[in-house]
Amino acid sequence: MQQIDSLLHRKIKARLYLNAVLPAFEDLLAQSEQAREILGERAFTLTFQTSSGLKSSLTFGDQTCLFHKSGADRSNIVIHFLTEEHLNKEFEGKGFRLPIPIKGSTRIGDIKAFKALSALLEATLRPPTKEQLEDIDFHNMHVGIQLGIALRATVELATHEKLSRTIMKNTPEGIAYFSVGKDGYGAWLEWRHGRLISGKDLPATRADVSVQFTDADTALRSVGNHIDVMAAIGLGDITIEGLIPLADSLGYIFERIPLYITP
């Protein structure tokens, strides 16, 4: 049983990297001039895949990035991983993890550009100095990208993790809108017909519950399970208005994200 649980854990973690973390390149290219300079005029599609059939792709071009869940129709570069653990180690930078380039190994310039973009994304998510976070533009990008990863991770857990599916099973349908401050980062999750989806900015229709974090630090600590949420609500650092059961269920799943990845 322990071995089965371990295999499931590794597969869910791989899904989070492929479907919650990889889409962050879209935001990076949209918000970072440095990222656009790294990409330059290059245009290529890169696919990550595992032997079990997990697959996701990124298309770079016109100084933008587009994420393809379940993979693009055509790719210039295909990186193959023998197992989910093989892929997880690549994303975490741990142990022997040499991926297998089964297509596009001669596109050295594109591969180098992607590696440089990966390093920039990592530095944006985990800035080496606190001084960087004092820059308002960098700070907003840092918060937006991290929270975007957290919301997409919530979708993956609600879809593929048994406990998260159980949490959502009896949850009332609706849209939850999350924001930082009155005019800061905003994103939403919609639970409808047994399916959870996410989006940026304001939802197309009015949210059924709104969750406002007083500042970015509170938001990031909340989704990373590093804060007493009830205490934060009592102190006014988190404000919840509307369909409370929906917010509660999503909050329980937020708390599970660090069991797999660090948002």
The H helix count followed by the E strand count for the chain is: 10, 10
φ/ψ of residue 186, rounded to 5: -135, 145
129/40 Cα distance (integer angstroms): 27
Residue among 169, 238, 171, 176 at smallest CA distance from 210 = 176
Statement to judge: residues 68 and 120 lie in one domain: yes
Asked if 106 and 9 sit in the same domain, the reply is yes
CA dihedral defined by 7, 9, 13, 14, rounded to 10 degrees?
20
The answer to whether residue 226 sits within a structural domain is yes
- Specify if 36 maps to a domain: yes
CB-based contact 216:143 (threshold 8 Å): yes
Asked if residue 193 and residue 147 are part of one domain, the reply reads yes
Q: What is the pLDDT of residue 163?
A: 95
pTM of the predicted model, to two decimals? 0.90
Structural domain harbouring 142: 138-259
Could you say which of 79, 94, 126 is where a domain stops?
A: 126
66, part of any domain: yes
Give the domain CATH number at 166. Answer: 3.30.1050.10
Express each pLDDT in 210-261 by its tens digit.
999 888 778 877 776 666 777 777 778 889 999 999 999 998 998 899 999 9
Summarize pLDDT for 125-165 with one digit per residue, the tens: 988 777 777 888 888 888 889 889 999 999 999 999 999 99
Residues 113 and 163 in one domain: no
